[in-house]
């Protein structure tokens, strides 16, 4: 068994020295962190929880669990067009599920590596957290900044705006399906999409001033488009033939399952944005510089609802439905 404070010192917060450059006036080790937001900016704050066997499989590699739990939280900052600054991790861990102390240390080391590596890549400082015992759960609070009045929201779309997505869709659900069939090669493009999603932070910032509304795709394209439509008060017409499908998705699952995964599977963590038609080319150029495609998949309308898709298609992931605990 590893004691709470040893675990924190050893794996989670190895350095408790405040770094003024990171905007941390007082970091981990006290009752709360003291943070220094940039003048002229608004804070974007969001929390997401990742639960074993709900969000990731119990036998997922620890590195992926660390990476993923931060990535899905950061994805909400990407959707706001916010620059990430700080995060907080609430880790609940059941040490009795490990064979021995060596297994606990090995798991924590790889978990922390996955988390810290993404922190570093996305200039995010782990400024505090909490450790408790219980079923493996990682709650991650993220805090970012956007210049006052310039954050993207779900509410800015107007009829006539084009609807576009970054990257490719269906890889999250496709990867989960493959994992459930026993695929374990982490180099497989679909497994990577499910277990090691990349939050589209640079894209979100690049789309500030170009996109009229944005949301990240966690529950599924149709479900998240539904949230955006509702917040903006618009309808949508989709062109199913233009959906960018994830690499290897159609060949692994077949056409129908691939389209279902792209429309309703969730776990893609791409950005779904609306933008005036005249901004599409600039947005594609800006994202092209990041190596990320932006594909137009439809248009907003003033007739509420969605046209262009079969009405019987599932609407995406919902907790407390059958299948979920
Ligand atoms: N327990 C809660 N208490 C207060 N607000 C909540 C709670 N759960 C969710 N929300 C709010 O409901 C909205 C939708 O949540 P969610 O579907 O988790 O968003 P996302 O997909 O962006 O993570 C968010 O604005 C979130 O802050
Ligand atoms: C083991 C496992 N089973 C099922 C799923 C599918 N799944 C679980 S939660 C979820 C939706 C996203 O999670 P949620 O907690 O709703 O995130 P949020 O929308 O708040 O970002 C999906 C697609 C999964 N990721 N892993
Ligand atoms: Mg959430």
- Interhelix angle 62-80/101-121, rounded to 10 degrees, is 30
* Ligand with minimal distance to 320 CA: 2
317 lines ligand 2 (CB under 6 A): yes
pLDDT at position 323: 60
pLDDT at position 129: 94
167: left (phi over 0), alpha (psi -120 to 50) or beta: left
54 lines ligand 2 (CB under 6 A): yes
3-state secondary structure of 46: strand
Domain 4-147 indexed as CATH 3.40.190.80:
no
Query: Does 103 have pLDDT greater than 70?
Result: yes
With cut-offs at 50, 70 and 90, classify the pLDDT of residue 304: confident
CA distances from 205 to 58, 62, 145, 221, 227 (A): 34, 30, 10, 21, 21
pLDDT at position 307: 92
Query: How much distance in Å is there from the Cα of 38 to the middle of ligand 2?
Result: 33
Sequence ranges of the binding site: 31, 46, 48, 55, 76, 129-130, 154, 216, 218-219, 267, 317
pLDDT at position 279: 98
Name the CATH superfamily, with its identifier, for domain 162-307. PurM-like C-terminal domain (3.90.650.10)
56 lines ligand 2 (CB under 6 A): yes
Q: Which residues line ligand 1 (CB under 6 A)?
A: 48, 76, 218
Q: For 144-180, how does the pLDDT look when each residue is reduced to its tens digit (9 = 90+)? A: 999 999 999 999 999 999 999 999 999 999 999 999 9
pLDDT at position 105: 94
Angle at CA of residue 171, ends 167 and 173, nearest 5°: 140
Hey, which residues does 276 pair with through a beta bridge? none
d(CA 172, CA 268): 5
Residue from 45, 47, 48, 214 whose mutation best tests the ligand 1 pocket (most atoms within 8 A of CB): 48
Report the pLDDT averaged over residues 110-128: 96
Long-range contacts formed by 22-27: CB under 8 A, 24+ apart: 22/85, 22/86, 22/125, 23/85, 23/86, 23/125, 24/86, 24/125, 24/127, 27/125, 27/127, 27/128
Q: For 14-64, how does the pLDDT look when each residue is reduced to its tens digit (9 = 90+)? A: 765 656 678 998 887 789 999 999 999 999 999 999 999 999 999 999 999
With cut-offs at 50, 70 and 90, classify the pLDDT of residue 296: very high
Residue from 267, 268, 270, 271 whose mutation best tests the ligand 2 pocket (most atoms within 8 A of CB): 267
pLDDT at position 172: 98
Which residues are in the CB-under-5-Å shell of ion ligand 3?
48
Nearest CA to ligand 1 atom 6: 47
| Domain residue ranges in the chain | 4-147, 162-307
With cut-offs at 50, 70 and 90, classify the pLDDT of residue 88: very high
57 lines ligand 2 (CB under 6 A): yes
Q: For 240-286, how does the pLDDT look when each residue is reduced to its tens digit (9 = 90+)? A: 999 999 999 999 999 999 999 999 999 999 999 999 999 999 999 99
pLDDT at position 193: 98
Report the pLDDT averaged over residues 298-305: 94
Query: How much distance in Å is there from the Cα of 46 to the middle of ligand 1?
Result: 8
Mean pLDDT in the chain? 94
């Amino acid at each position: 068994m590893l004691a709470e404070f040893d675990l924190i010192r050893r794996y989670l917060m190895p350095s408790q020295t405040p770094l003024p450059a990171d905007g941390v006036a007082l970091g981990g080790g006290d009752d709360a962190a003291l943070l220094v937001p940039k003048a002229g900016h608004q804070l974007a704050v969001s929390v997401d929880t990742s639960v074993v066997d709900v969000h990731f499989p119990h036998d997922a590699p620890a590195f992926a669990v660390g990476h993923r739990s931060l990535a899905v939280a950061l994805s909400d900052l990407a959707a706001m067009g916010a620059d990430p600054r700080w995060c907080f991790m609430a880790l609940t861990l059941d040490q009795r599920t490990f064979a021995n102390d060596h297994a606990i240390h090995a798991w924590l080391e790889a978990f922390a590596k996955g988390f810290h590596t993404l922190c570093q890549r996305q200039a995010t400082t782990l400024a505090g957290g909490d450790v408790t015992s219980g079923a493996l759960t990682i709650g991650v609070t993220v805090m970012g900044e956007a210049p006052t009045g310039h954050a993207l929201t779900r509410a800015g779309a107007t009829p006539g705006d084009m609807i576009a997505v970054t990257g490719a869709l269906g890889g999250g659900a496709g990867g989960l399906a493959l994992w459930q069939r026993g695929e374990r090669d982490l180099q497989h493009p679909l497994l990577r999409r499910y277990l090691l999603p990349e939050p589209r932070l640079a894209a979100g910032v690049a789309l500030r001033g170009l996109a009229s509304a944005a949301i990240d795709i966690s529950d599924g394209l149709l479900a998240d488009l539904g949230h955006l439509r509702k917040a903006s008060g618009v309808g949508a017409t989709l062109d199913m033939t233009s959906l960018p499908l994830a690499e290897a998705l159609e060949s692994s699952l077949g056409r129908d399952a691939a389209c279902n995964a792209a429309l309703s599977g969730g776990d893609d963590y791409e950005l779904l944005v609306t933008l005036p038609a005249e901004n599409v080319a600039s947005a594609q150029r800006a994202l092209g510089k990041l190596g990320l495609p932006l594909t137009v998949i439809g248009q907003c309308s003033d007739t509420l609802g969605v046209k262009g898709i079969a009405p019987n298609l599932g609407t995406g992931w919902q907790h407390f439905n059958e299948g979920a605990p």
